[in-house]
Amino acid sequence: MKHRFKIRSAHTNKPSSKWRKDYITLIYLTLIFVVVLRIYEYVTALVLFRPAKLFKSELFGLGMDLLLCLGIFAIFAPIYKWLNHFKRRVGPKLFETIVFFLIVCHLLIIEYFFYQLKPLDIFLFSHDASEMAFSINTSGITFYRIISALIVSIGSWTILGYYFRQYPFNILPLNKILYGGIISLIAFVLINLYARLPVAVDLFNNKSYFFYKNVFKSSTSKFFAPPLEELSLKFQHEFPGPEYIDPEYPFLHKFKAVDSLSAYLNLENTPPNVVILLTESLSEYFIHPIRGIHFMPFLDSLSKVSLFWPNFFSLGERSFAANPCLTAAVPYGESGFTLMQIYPYHFSLMNVLKENNYRNTFYYSQGSWFHNKEHYYKFNNIDRIIDKNSFDPDFTKVNVGEEQHFWGYNDIDFFDQYLRYTDSIQRVKRLDVLFTGTSHSPFIVSDPEYYNKRFKQDLEKITDIEDIKHFEKHKRFYLTLYNVDDAYRKLFYKYQQRADYENTLFFITGDHQMSELPIANDIEKYRVPFIVFSPKLKKPQEFKALSTHQDLYETLLSFFKLKYNFNVPEFSTSLGSKITFDTAFNGNRDIVFMNDNRQLVDYYSNGYYLSDENYLFKLYPDMDLKEIYDKNKLDEMRKKLSIYRAASLNASLNFKLMPDALFFNFTQQHIYFNEYRQDTIKSNDLSKNICSISSIQNQPVYADISLHCLSEPEAFPNLKIKWMTNCDSTLEEINLNYPLDKINYQFHLKLNPPITSDSTLKFEIKLINRNNSEYQFSHLKCLVYNVNK
């Protein structure tokens, strides 16, 4: 009996002992990688950036990494044990492979952090694949370090794993390690919730934990949030001020024209041209001397002979916010208004000035497809888009990377192309929107030898060692400021030679701050300069009141309505108001910002600033922030922010910005067909009718068709647009494929009828199911209306 008992005991203890030894080995192996990767993060950040509080932040961060790692292994120990008992052949190997895969992902996430010292976040899912590829190709990132680190990691994991299995650890029994892991996890949670450590948060955080946590929060938050419509109805009560029309349309209000701009101008009888110069990554402090070096002396001198707002805000950390905020003051959508695939009808500077016989053009030195700029401006019926594909061949292309990817053009060439294009239309009233690009990744200047020499000469005047280190570390970013400033100097010099110079209003601002450079505090990431220059200016003036990009739309409409009796809409959906012309600091505003992750979590309200929906600050006239602890104020601002967020989403996504009739009443366009169906349509019909018009004028029309595709895009039918005679004879057919990479999509088509003597025609739009397969879609909206300008 004893002998048989011993044999059975050995048989049952062997797998139990093995899984414990293997799990201990896996824990120690992972802990070694956690420590090594923290050291790698510290050394790389030190070499590339030398940020403040680096050592302290990484040291505390390493401690938190170890606590988190031990806690996770404590939680997953029962799963590993189960896999050893019931899936003995593949279970443990699969578990270990997943652990190593997460380590490799952690390495890649750290590598992303080295791009701008910003941790990877959920904005990753807000980009199209094409935009991500373009950003990577033009970023100047070298992959040698990344590939080398991956090879070393794979080799080290294999060698160390083999070694530890041959010579296993026997430092502590597993039970003690797991109990310690549970205590570690509790400590990790408590420190995150309550501790105020003297660290730089982005350096301190575990980059993978930060990313996975935010992905989880973003994915689950929609299940716990109140219905959009319910919160949206509270907007007008929480944000009083304008004369609102209907709670169903939270931002819709009566437009009240108040003109402060014309008082500073000696105006002509002819309405002026409007030139909006949107400057890539132009922080407010760039136009002043920085630590003893003046990188942008021309823009600084221009601000001193202009109307200048130093406390001006962009509404987003990236360029996706600048275009729609400046030109239309529209809400943010899910991840930025321009990034939406389906736009609600909205008023903008483009379509309002077009009604007053202005010619509108958008100029961009890169590809206008990026951040959906092309779709946004075309939806606003802009007359022309000039981007990198429209430049004359004598300008020098900027190519980047080993594959010489065509990025665009330098700002000096960009402005020259603009002047060349507008030279023949100087007598035409114009709205010109220009978006520069040199001060953005890949940060390539037009004359490297000249700007390097200039930088060296300026650096020789600096005596402070820390300042010298700062400039040397960020040299490639600062070089572009020289280049951009020279581009502006040459632009204005050449513009002065033209006849249309005297009657032109120039508006110069930045789209956001340069995220590659350190900032003084959290609100500075939205602070940009705002300069209004005109040869007709009575006198220069600086205004210290807070204003934003969203204020330009109603400011210009007020100016044109009251001074030139322009036809402007009776209603507005502007999220801004008017630019504030107060010379003293005036912070009585409500401003909601969209951060780099496409989240509305930063909110300024009447002297208080809520950062990341968690930290409350008091804002002072010198733009300094001081953190305060006021639970009532924190809760109040969180509540208002959640209502604002819901209203923004509801207005953007559910066509609650304004009734279509208000838009078309202003533009005086005749609607031939208008249908919106929110139900789900499921079909396998070979042909499905979308729109049928029995009598339409023989003239150009717009057709706007949008829907939410619920099938695989590859299986979705084509669109067929047909012009017919009154006798049903086909005159012309147009076939359009549904984009394979889109779920929501909107066609905005300008359609010219075929040449015929008939004064009226028939018109139809159908879905053609060429695959003969089942498909489904929802939220079908179709409008057909005439072109009047």
What's the pLDDT tens digit per position in 433-464? 999 999 998 999 999 999 999 999 999 999 99
For 463-481, b/e burial (b = at least 16 CB within 10 A) is eeeeeeebbebeebbbbbb
Same domain, 444 and 486: yes
Identity at 635, one-letter amino acid code:
D
Q: Does residue 199 share a domain with residue 293?
A: no
> Does 433 map to a domain?
yes
Q: Is the peptide bond before 442 cis (omega within 30 degrees of 0)?
A: yes
Q: Is residue 520 part of a domain?
A: yes
Residue (of 386, 382, 464) closest to 431 by Cα position: 382
Q: Are residues 36 and 128 in the same domain?
A: yes
Asked if the structure places residue 99 within a domain, the reply is: yes
Residue 228 within any structural domain of the chain: no
Mind spelling out the 3-state secondary structure of 395-449?
CCEEEECCCCEEEEECHHHHHHHHHHHHHHHCCCCEEEEEECCCCCCCCCCCCHH
**With contact defined as beta carbons under 8 Å apart, do 295 and 481 qualify?**
yes
Residue entry with tokens 């057709």:
703
pLDDT at 449: 97
Q: What is the C-alpha separation between 442 and 134, in angstroms, rounded? A: 11
CATH code at 707? 2.60.120.660
709 token code pair = 């595709």
Give the pLDDT confidence score for residue 193 in this predicted structure: 85
Residues 319 and 171 in one domain: no
Look at residue 615 and tell me if it is in a domain: no
What is the 3 state secondary structure string of 314-348? CCECCCCCHHHHHHHCCCCCCCCHHHCCCCCCCCC
In DSSP terms, 373 is beta-bridged to none
Query: How far is the C-alpha of 417 from the C-alpha of 422, rounded, in Å?
Result: 9
Q: Which of 546, 579, 612 is the last residue of a domain?
A: 579
Residue with tokens 């695989």: 712
3-state secondary structure of 460: coil
Determine the average pLDDT of the residues in 358-371: 95
- In the chain, the amino acid numbered 153 is S
In this predicted structure, the answer to whether residue 320 has a pLDDT above a threshold of 80 is yes
In DSSP terms, 508 is beta-bridged to: 277, 531
State whether 317 and 440 are in the same domain: yes
* Helices 54-86 + 91-116 axis angle, to 10: 160
- pLDDT score, position 135: 58
Neighbours of 504 (CB within 10 A): 19
Which pLDDT band, with edges at 50, 70 and 90, does 368 fall under? very high
- Last residue in a domain, options 524, 546, 579: 579
Q: How confident is the model at residue 3 (pLDDT cuts 50, 70, 90)?
A: very low
Residues 181 and 305 in one domain: no
Q: How far is CA 539 from CA 88, 304, 305, 531, 780, in A?
A: 83, 10, 7, 13, 54
Amino acid identity of residue 428, one-letter, is V
Boundaries of domain holding 745: 669-786
Residue 537 has pLDDT above 90, yes or no: yes
Residue 156: pLDDT band with limits 50, 70, 90: confident
Is residue 552 predicted with pLDDT exceeding 90?
A: yes
Shared domain check, 208 and 310: no
User: What type of residue sits at position 48?
Assistant: L
Span 392-403, mean pLDDT?
A: 88
**Residue 16's pLDDT band (boundaries 50, 70, 90)?**
low
Whether residue 259 sits in one domain with residue 170: no
If pLDDT is split at 50, 70 and 90, which confidence band does 4 have? Answer: very low
In a domain, 720, yes or no: yes
My answer on whether 109 and 154 are in the same domain is: yes
| Average per-residue pLDDT for the chain | 91
How far is the C-alpha of 96 from the C-alpha of 99, rounded, in Å?
Answer: 5
* Residues paired with residue 399 on neighbouring β-strands, in sequence order: 406
- Following DSSP, what letter does each residue of 473-492 receive, concatenated? HTHHHHHHHHHHHHHHHHHH
User: What pLDDT is recorded for position 157?
Assistant: 80
- Residue 606 in any domain: the answer is no
Which CATH number belongs to the domain containing residue 572 in this structure? 3.40.720.10
pLDDT in tens, 469-525: 999 989 999 999 999 999 999 999 999 999 999 999 999 999 999 988 988 899 999
406 near 382, Cβ under 8 Å? Answer: no
Q: Is the pLDDT of residue 52 over 90?
A: no
Alpha-carbon span 355 to 538, nearest angstrom: 29
Band of pLDDT at residue 404, cut at 50, 70 and 90 = confident
Average the pLDDT over 128-141 and give the result.
58
Residue 102's pLDDT is 93
Rounded to whole angstroms, how far apart are CA atoms 683 and 677? 15
Residue 742's pLDDT is 86
As a whole number, mean pLDDT of residues 547-569 equals 98
The predicted structure's pLDDT at residue 597? 83
Per-residue pLDDT at 511: 96
Residue 424 vs residues 72, 83, 502: alpha-carbon distances, Å? 68, 76, 17
Cβ-contact 572, 253 below 8 angstroms: yes
Specify the pLDDT at position 782.
98
CA distance 442 to 438: 8
Q: Judge contact between 436 and 277, C-beta under 8 A.
A: yes
523 is a domain residue: yes
Same domain, 103 and 179: yes
Q: Which residue has the tokens 């990790």?
A: 188
Cβ atoms of 375 and 337 within 8 Å: the answer is no
**In the chain, what's the furthest Cα-to-Cα distance?**
114
pLDDT confidence of residue 686: 92
Instruction: Express each pLDDT in 377-392 by its tens digit.
Output: 999 999 999 999 999 9
593-616 pLDDT, tens digit per residue, is: 999 888 999 999 999 999 999 899
Give the model's confidence band at 140: pLDDT under 50 very low, under 70 low, under 90 confident, else very high.
low
Most confident of 84-93, 104-113, 390-399: 390-399
Q: Which of 555, 579, 603 is the C-terminal boundary of a domain?
A: 579
Q: What is the mean pLDDT of residues 737-757?
A: 92
pLDDT at 619 over 90: yes
Of 774, 749, 598, 619, the residue nearest 684 (C-alpha): 774
Place of tokens 């952690």: 106
**Percent of the chain scored above 70 by pLDDT?**
94
Mean pLDDT in residue range 53-72: 94
Is the pLDDT higher at 120 or at 663?
663
Q: What letter represents residue 514's amino acid?
A: M
Average pLDDT over residues 233-239: 97
Q: How many domains does the chain have?
A: 3
217 plus 259 within the same structural domain: no
Q: If you write DSSP's letter for every residue of 168-179 in order, what string do you get?
A: ---SS-HHHHHH
Residue 567 has pLDDT above 50, yes or no: yes
Whether residue 283 is found in the same domain as residue 180: no
The pLDDT confidence band at residue 138, using thresholds 50, 70 and 90, is: low
pLDDT at 593: 98
Say what the pLDDT of residue 312 is.
Answer: 98
Give 166-179 pLDDT, tens digit per residue: 766 666 788 888 99
β-strands 384-386, 359-364 pairing: parallel
Residue range 15-36: average pLDDT?
Answer: 84
Give me the pLDDT at residue 90, please.
82
- pLDDT-based confidence at residue 740 (cuts at 50, 70, 90): confident
